[in-house]
Structure 1
Amino acid sequence: MKPGTFLLLGLLITARLFLQPIYSLVSDCDETFNYWEPLNFLLRGFGKQTWEYSPEYSIRSWAFLLPLYASLSPFKKIIPLLGLPPSTLFYIARFLMGFYSVVMEWLLFREIDTKLSSFTANIWLLLQLLNPGWFHASVELLPSSFAMVTMLGFMKFGIRYLSNRSATPFIQALSFNFVSGVLGWPFVLILSIPMVFHYVLTHRILATVKTGFASILRLLSVISTIFLVDSAFYGKFAPVAWNIVMYNVIAADENSGPNIFGTEPWYYYPLNLLLNFPIPTLMGCVIGVLSNWRLAPIWGCLFVWMAVFLSQPHKEERFLYPIYPMITLAASVGYTNFWKGRKVSRIVRNTFFLALFILTLSQSFMRVFALVKNYTAPLDVYAHIPPATGPQTICVGREWYHYPTSLFLEDDSRLRFTNSGFDGLLPGDFKETHSMLNSIREIPAGMNNENKFDPLKLVGADECDYYIDIVLPSDDTRDSFDPTLMEDEWVCIYRTAFIDVASSKFLGRAFALPEIFLKYMPGQEIWSRIYEAKYLDYCIFEKQTEQV
């Protein structure tokens, strides 16, 4: 292994296994309530339950959580003996997801090195390391994140297939796509379309039929295994992947389906890519797609994905995760081809790549630093809730969607929601009085798939032992608490800085530099007009009890 490759691998391992698990944010409440909470329920017997886990709808997979549950179960008993907090399980889980990412990235790196070139492989590894989107996405407990990492296997064998046109790597590539789709996110299955078309158009009918039959057998084995596991949990036939497609596409209307949770304009995704990929990477991606038609089926995945999701009104950042590795692959190919056949001096070439590296590193660092500095306050605050000496209630109002996970709570602590003016459907709780399977199979009260408010999900302020919120005046008369007008019985016992989105400029929210750089930045007056980040206190308020 060359010294440069060894260094890149070392940096990648450091980022994925140590930096990302510790410093990455929880970017989506869907990750918290649809995945971390059910995982906490499997491990510790309590957690918040969303309507998606009601057997009536069953559009979330328990099979998806089983690998992490099995991996974390041995640690569940060891952690208390070592005097470590329950959140240790959260960080171990992230470490495991980071490890999975490293393994898959290394496998694809080796394939690129063998089938394309060592230069392309090293550039790809560097761009992966300097990918702000991957920094948080690869350790998120989301089906789209799992699909993103698993699609590296699809790309590995896809490149091998495009090199030798053999049926074996083609079937292996589809197998990775089947697992990422059926176990993870079913919409990822459309990424097989360009590769399937390529195989059909370049092989004889008999070979196509034979390969198609073998591929279908692989798909059926994946489907049957995962559907069997989910059906055992729900106590009924539960084809979760199909239920997801039904809810989001086939049966969607104005009262149910993804659009009731908000819509975005078409340019949401292009702007999102500019945030999560350095501009040099995106420029290299365009060059790669236009200059290497040998990998056209993989580039076709990019076009198919963007065509489908640009047309959907409901858009979210995580919907782009599955194409992240394809963008960095295209960029690495693009920069390889840019220099192919060009007769320039080594000095010119090295200067170009040094400038490219500095630009990529700068944007990546500023983006990652902003995500850590501006948005990780909830992880810090919930980690500082005082240890419970008995049952205690942690309350949250308007900041409910920033709750990280019940893995940050002691065994006797529970999260409850107070009135905040939010008029959508809040999560309920998994029943703790039944056996685990009985609790999973019981249809919970007050659930619906139309985001209709259920007042039974709320508790009164007098039931709270702690209350967590940003210190900002309440703008809704229905709020149970106003942190700026808290009575003497409530005291902020811990606070940390959290970005004030409404008062900060876009560049201040999206990118950040250490204060020492900002202090000596030339043109302060001009810079302050486009870059400004203001912060609020994110607090734990403790109810004060009278001393007897």
Structure 2
Amino acid sequence: MKSITKLALIGLLLASRLYLQPIYSLVSDCDETFNYWEPLNFLLRGFGKQTWEYSPEYSIRSWAFLLPLYTSLLPIGKLCSVLGLPPYVLFYVARSILGLYSVVMEWHLYRELEATLSLQTANMWLLFQIFNPGWFHASVELLPSSFAMVTMLGFAKYGLRYLSTGSDTAFIQALLFNFVSGILGWPFVLILSVPLVAHYVITHRIFASIKTGFGSLLRLLAVIVVVFCIDSIYYGKVTPVAWNIVMYNVVDANEKSGPNIFGVEPWYYYFLNLLLNFPITVLVGCLVGLATNFRLASIWGSLLVWMAIFVQQPHKEERFLYPIYSIISLSASVGFTKVWGRLSGSKGVRNTFFFGLYALTICQSSMRTFALIKNYTAPLDAYAHIPIVPGPQNVCVGREWFHYPTSMFLSNDYRLHFIQSGFDGLLPGDFKETHSMLNSIREIPVGMNNENKFDPSKLTPVDQCDFYIDFMLPTEESQDALDPNEMGEEWKLVYRTPFVDASQSKFLGRAFSAPEFLLKLVPGQKYWSRVYEVNFLDYCVFERQTEQV
């Protein structure tokens, strides 16, 4: 029975990470699109949008971060070109590679949990990982925080081994994974190793701490040098990207620049966010684990330190919690293993309790995941259905610019352009296509700033648009250059797909999705509709009609 359970979980993990997530997961953040997919498309296909972060003047995004995926996709891209496959195949292959990386890292931590704690804890953790709505989309996102989230599984693995064996080698290995997560990915995750380092220093003699610290420092320097050299080569100047990120977000942040200019959220934002991205059962189990297993206190400390720091930051985003996702699942599995032990005297009660636990976990997770797919993936569908016609074509967006998935959905001679809308911040520009790749990267683009100030040169006149993408909602006539409800005879609607109408939907309807036949069985339909309702509008692709001769 234990072998069947293990095989079933592994099968579900592979199916989710390698197929379901790459194909059906949404692109949840425009930062992912313009700061990572677009530069990757530029490396692979020679064109893409460029943000101010990639200007050599600021250089707070790492080309080294994109290099592993770029080298993996380069031969695949050439094969797709030979076979005549659509360019978005690269996008889905890239997400499958990211999913594979997650599988490998999760498998290693699973084996460590099996050896260090118990098979039951390992199985429970893997179940919580598979049915984790947040991990479902985060693990295939091309973001430094997502990379850090997955890579920190290695930190957790060797952190557990160190705590169970006292091995110096395991401790150094744990730090190495943290260093890679921070220097190649997101520098702020280096904070997560502080509790484990404190544990080592407190429990070891000074000489041992100095010796181990020296070995750890050498590994940190090695990671820094490799990443620093790659980024410096690409930017053509001395470029410590990780340090630049810290400087911009912390040291030099003020009312004109820094993260706060992109919006602030209340202190409870992250707690509400966790309620969406984790089943309530897992969150409760996490609290039990934190309160009952003090042997893993230095790992729990990483979670608590992270929350304490980020809750205080005015600018908050969902992805900022990614690095602690696996620790939440780990704490929950440890907590419920403790509950299992307490209920061992009554097999019927124990089995009933855990059946309900797993059923509720799977149900809530599935409803949340289905809602994300059903309500928010229209842009991926729409851009995949842009008609292919000969010659250069301009695909235009206005207010809908932030739902653009990636230029990997555009044919080689198609380009994305922005038209006038109500948005008054800084839009991305374009990587130069008339230079060599390195020259384009090293050239300081015109009209960039780190204060989110609007630059009109980023806009294109409507008469130069061949396609237009928008959802069917009224626009502000004084702000928007085009109204999808009044496009005129020169425009033809060529594709439409449903997208959630947030303004006309209830919160529960936007956040969770259940089959219609089940919803009809819910008693008190009149009252239920007051809290659960979802409506959709059309997400449309328009094509300009050319005159027939």
TM range (shorter): over 0.9
Are the equivalent residues in 2 in contact too, given 1:37–1:405 (CA < 8 A)? yes
Q: Cα deviations across residues 296-336 of structure 1 (Å, max 9, x unaligned)? A: 00000011000110000000000000000000000000000
Aligned-partner Cα distance in 2 for 1:148–1:392 = 38
Aligned AA (1:311): Q
How far is 1:347 from its partner? 2.0
Are the equivalent residues in 2 in contact too, given 1:388–1:412 (CA < 8 A)? no
User: What runs of 5+ residues in structure 2 fail to find an aligned partner?
Assistant: none
Aligned-partner Cα distance in 2 for 1:388–1:437 = 31
Residue aligning to 1:391:
392
Residue aligning to 2:487:
486
Are the equivalent residues in 2 in contact too, given 1:50–1:428 (CA < 8 A)? yes
Aligned-partner Cα distance in 2 for 1:403–1:13 = 28
Residue aligning to 2:104:
103
How far is 1:476 from its partner? 4.9
Secondary structure (helix, strand or coil) at the match of 2:244 reads helix
Q: Cα deviations across residues 180-204 of structure 1 (Å, max 9, x unaligned)? A: 0000000000001000000000000
Aligned-partner Cα distance in 2 for 1:236–1:476 = 46
How far is 1:341 from its partner? 4.2
How far is 1:77 from its partner? 1.3
Secondary structure (helix, strand or coil) at the match of 2:349 reads helix
Secondary structure (helix, strand or coil) at the match of 1:395 reads strand
Residue 317 in structure 1 maps to residue 318 in structure 2:
yes
> TM-score w.r.t. structure 2 length?
0.99
Aligned-partner Cα distance in 2 for 1:66–1:343 = 51
Residue 194 in structure 1 maps to residue 195 in structure 2:
yes
Q: Cα deviations across residues 350-390 of structure 1 (Å, max 9, x unaligned)? A: 11111001110110011000000000000000000011311
User: What runs of 5+ residues in structure 1 fail to find an aligned partner?
Assistant: none
Aligned AA (2:247): M
Alignment of 1:533-548 (within 5 A): 533-548=534-549
Residue aligning to 2:133:
132
Are the equivalent residues in 2 in contact too, given 1:388–1:410 (CA < 8 A)? no
How large is the RMSD of aligned CA atoms in angstroms?
0.8
Residue aligning to 2:118:
117
How far is 1:343 from its partner? 4.0
Are the equivalent residues in 2 in contact too, given 1:33–1:48 (CA < 8 A)? yes
Aligned-partner Cα distance in 1 for 2:153–2:8 = 21
Alignment of 1:376-415 (within 5 A): 376-415=377-416
Aligned-partner Cα distance in 2 for 1:26–1:94 = 11
How far is 1:84 from its partner? 1.3
Pair 341,517 (structure 1): closer, same or farther in 2 beyond 3 Å: closer
Secondary structure (helix, strand or coil) at the match of 1:483 reads coil
Aligned-partner Cα distance in 2 for 1:343–1:62 = 53
Pair 203,305 (structure 1): closer, same or farther in 2 beyond 3 Å: same
Are the equivalent residues in 2 in contact too, given 1:388–1:413 (CA < 8 A)? no
Residue aligning to 2:160:
159
Aligned-partner Cα distance in 1 for 2:32–2:524 = 41
Q: Cα deviations across residues 54-109 of structure 1 (Å, max 9, x unaligned)? A: 00000000000000000000011111222310000000000000000000000000
Aligned AA (1:181): G
Aligned AA (1:48): K
Residue aligning to 1:2:
3
Aligned-partner Cα distance in 2 for 1:159–1:250 = 34
Residue aligning to 1:271:
272
Secondary structure (helix, strand or coil) at the match of 2:345 reads coil
Aligned-partner Cα distance in 1 for 2:234–2:54 = 10
> TM-score w.r.t. structure 1 length?
0.99
Pair 521,227 (structure 1): closer, same or farther in 2 beyond 3 Å: same
Residue aligning to 1:26:
27
Alignment of 1:473-512 (within 5 A): 473-512=474-513
- Greater alpha carbon shift after TM alignment, 334-343 vs 273-282: 334-343
Alignment of 1:431-450 (within 5 A): 431-450=432-451
Residue aligning to 1:222:
223
Percentage of matched positions with identical amino acids: 70
How far is 1:534 from its partner? 1.1
Are the equivalent residues in 2 in contact too, given 1:421–1:476 (CA < 8 A)? no
Residue aligning to 1:262:
263
Aligned AA (1:399): E
Q: Cα deviations across residues 124-156 of structure 1 (Å, max 9, x unaligned)? A: 011101100000000000000000000000000
Are the equivalent residues in 2 in contact too, given 1:493–1:540 (CA < 8 A)? yes
Alignment of 1:83-102 (within 5 A): 83-102=84-103
Aligned-partner Cα distance in 1 for 2:443–2:507 = 45
Residue aligning to 2:56:
55
